[in-house]
Amino acid sequence: MGRRDVQVVWFKRDLRIHDNVALGAAVDTGGPVLPIYIFEPSLLTHPHTAGRHVQLVRESLRDLRESLAAAGAPLIVRVGEVTDVFDELHRAHPFATVHSHEEFGVLTTWQRDEDVAQWCRQRSVQYLEHRQSGAVRGLASRDRWSKQRMQQFSLPLVPVPTAIRSSGVDPGPIPDLAELGVVVETMVDRQPGGEVSGRQVMRSWLTERSVGYERNLSSPVSGWNGCSRLSVHLALGTLSAREVHKRAEVRAGEPAAPRKSMFAFAERLAWRDHFTQKLEDAPFIEQRSLHPAFDGLRPDTPNDDALHALTHGRTGYPMVDAVARSLASTGWTTFRMRSMLTSFASYDLWLPWQTTGGILARWFADYDPGIHWPQIQMQSGVTGMNALRVYDPVKQQLDHDPTGVFVRRWVPELRDVPLDLLATPWLVAPEKRDEYPDPIVDHSAAVSQAKRRIGAVRQRIRGDGSTRELLERHGSRRPPPSRRRRQ
Ligand SMILES: Cc1cc2nc3c(=O)[nH]c(=O)nc-3n(C[C@H](O)[C@H](O)[C@H](O)COP(=O)(O)OP(=O)(O)OC[C@H]3O[C@@H](n4cnc5c(N)ncnc54)[C@H](O)[C@@H]3O)c2cc1C
């Protein structure tokens, strides 16, 4: 082929043709387009990756391949580290530009993008990372952050391309999980991936399911349909946050619209960017506490019994166990239940938040580092600037599963326990609860001890200026420019 005007569109967490800035920019050049997705061994084997994530990507690639093919240029799929795949492609089909979206991810993807930037520089290939999020790369100050976010969201949507010039490169097959060396997980009620499904979920959310959102969003029972369920699609980029935001705004303006629900929903979309900005500003928080005084507070190595109880849903607290088991099976739960589980792991079980964060990353089908790591740290009390949020699992069960339908589904050992004892099954004889275990810890005692330990650190750092500095940097004002725009 030998054409130097070929535009590579490297798809990552933007697996869609609607409102895709990178794709739109490539098509607008008028040159042939080489759309590619690369399964990277370093990510397939990453400790945060589970079979469910790869399965969702595969489903999304099927939609993307079909829609790109209909426009003239089917998706090319390869397996390998990105710079190796680019090397091989560039030798056979020299290309002029690589377009991708600006990714706010874990340290591995950040470093990978650095390597790609360097690879491009060395070959005089232009590397354009297009902004697709409300978070801002290399932000100098939080002062104007909200405005900058809204500027991004007020830009018009990028039209779906209808005619793309093909590069003629062989698309290759979409490998299955076995070929990728990824373990297939047995799951129930997992959300399907793909842009087609994402658009259906968005439609049903806006037109049917959003009424009463504020009331429904915490319980795992009402939240199943009463939350938007858009997280998987936002995480994979099968929907653009900008499009979702705009459609929610339009919906809120319609007569008889569930206006309160739409505002509460829009607020959460803003939280998404707010937390993503925190990871961008302090990328180390995937590994280290935002406030260094909390590093070393919990043991580096988790207690085996506690870890086993948590991951197998055998802590003796039915709501904690039901949520853990349901997450392992379905890949989703509500914000409140995620908070409760993290609180239980971090305060009651005193597990290192890094361990819990890794387990939940693998369980959450919607794993999104930008939301995940700041939330894990906040719910574990290691930011040094947020109020401690400790959840009582008994109260959470009474509040959010008052009929016991959720707990009985996921902890069938408790099927014969009467409803008035379902949140405290330890008051029932073991043989009447199918050997369901006694509580692994006494919640009140464990939480008091955790609060004392965390309180001692807070006391130590009180008045030394570090908390004020963190608030200025990561609260709502000035973050450090730690990840600078690539040169
Ligand atoms: C410890 C912990 C870890 C989390 N990890 C993730 C994660 O890896 N991926 C993820 O998508 N969400 C994460 N969340 C946030 C939240 O629980 C989920 O976004 C939400 O439950 C997804 O369901 P939904 O799309 O129906 O949400 P909805 O309630 O319908 O909210 C709409 C969208 O807003 C965003 N959002 C909602 N709540 C929050 C929040 N509290 N902070 C930031 N953004 C929010 C999400 O993009 C979500 O899809 C985490 C929460 C906690 C407490």
CATH topology of domain 286-475: DNA Cyclobutane Dipyrimidine Photolyase, subunit A; domain 3 (1.10.579)
* Predicted pLDDT at 367: 98
Architecture of domain 7-132: 3-Layer(aba) Sandwich (3.40)
Residue 151: count of CB within 10 angstroms of its CB: 12
* Predicted pLDDT at 150: 95
**Which residue's C-alpha comes closest to atom 47 of ligand 1?**
231
* Predicted pLDDT at 142: 87
Q: What spacing in Å lies between the alpha carbon of 79 and ligand 1's midpoint?
A: 30
Residue 76: beta bridge partners?
Answer: 36
User: Is the C-beta atom of 217 inside 6 A of ligand 1?
Assistant: yes
The answer on pLDDT for 477 being more than 90 is: no
pLDDT band at 471 (very low <50, low <70, confident <90, very high): low
User: Is the C-beta atom of 339 inside 6 A of ligand 1?
Assistant: yes
- How far, in Å, CA of 319 to CA of 103, rounded? 35
pLDDT band at 2 (very low <50, low <70, confident <90, very high): very low
pLDDT per position as a tens digit, 113-139: 999 999 999 999 999 999 999 999 999
pLDDT band at 483 (very low <50, low <70, confident <90, very high): low
- How far, in Å, CA of 95 to CA of 3, rounded? 7
Q: What spacing in Å lies between the alpha carbon of 340 and ligand 1's midpoint?
A: 14
Q: Which of 15, 2, 10 is nearest to 238 (CA)?
A: 15
CB 242 within 8 A of CB 152: yes
The answer on pLDDT for 200 being more than 50 is: yes
The answer on pLDDT for 73 being more than 90 is: yes
User: Is the C-beta atom of 231 inside 6 A of ligand 1?
Assistant: yes
Q: What spacing in Å lies between the alpha carbon of 400 and ligand 1's midpoint?
A: 18
Residue of 133, 153, 202, 231 best suited for mutating to test ligand 1, as the one with most atoms within 8 Å of CB:
231
pLDDT per position as a tens digit, 32-49: 999 999 999 999 999 999
Amino acid at 241: A
The answer on pLDDT for 466 being more than 80 is: no
CB 381 within 8 A of CB 453: no
Quickly tell me which residue has 């706010």 as its tokens. Answer: 104
Q: What spacing in Å lies between the alpha carbon of 430 and ligand 1's midpoint?
A: 37
User: Is the C-beta atom of 228 inside 6 A of ligand 1?
Assistant: yes
Q: What percent of the chain has pLDDT over 70?
A: 95
Ligand 1 atom at minimum distance from 334 CA? 21
Kind plus residue range of the DSSP H or E element containing 379: helix 369-379
End-to-end Cα distance, the chain: 31
* Predicted pLDDT at 207: 96
The answer on pLDDT for 169 being more than 70 is: yes
Widest pairwise Cα distance in the chain = 76
* Predicted pLDDT at 236: 98
Q: 263 is written with which tokens? A: 């505002």
The answer on pLDDT for 228 being more than 80 is: yes
Q: What spacing in Å lies between the alpha carbon of 335 and ligand 1's midpoint?
A: 6
Ligand 1 atom at minimum distance from 369 CA? 8
When pLDDT is averaged across residues 327-342 and rounded to a whole number, the result is: 98
Q: What spacing in Å lies between the alpha carbon of 371 and ligand 1's midpoint?
A: 7
Residue of 49, 359, 371 best suited for mutating to test ligand 1, as the one with most atoms within 8 Å of CB:
371
**Which residue's C-alpha comes closest to atom 39 of ligand 1?**
268
Of 4-8, 57-61, 413-417, least confident by mean pLDDT is 4-8
pTM for the complete prediction?
0.96
Domain boundaries, the chain: 7-132, 195-281, 286-475
Sign for the CA dihedral angle at 361, 364, 365, 367 comes to negative
When pLDDT is averaged across residues 237-250 and rounded to a whole number, the result is: 98
When pLDDT is averaged across residues 383-388 and rounded to a whole number, the result is: 89
User: Is the C-beta atom of 335 inside 6 A of ligand 1?
Assistant: yes
The answer on pLDDT for 479 being more than 50 is: no
When pLDDT is averaged across residues 463-477 and rounded to a whole number, the result is: 68
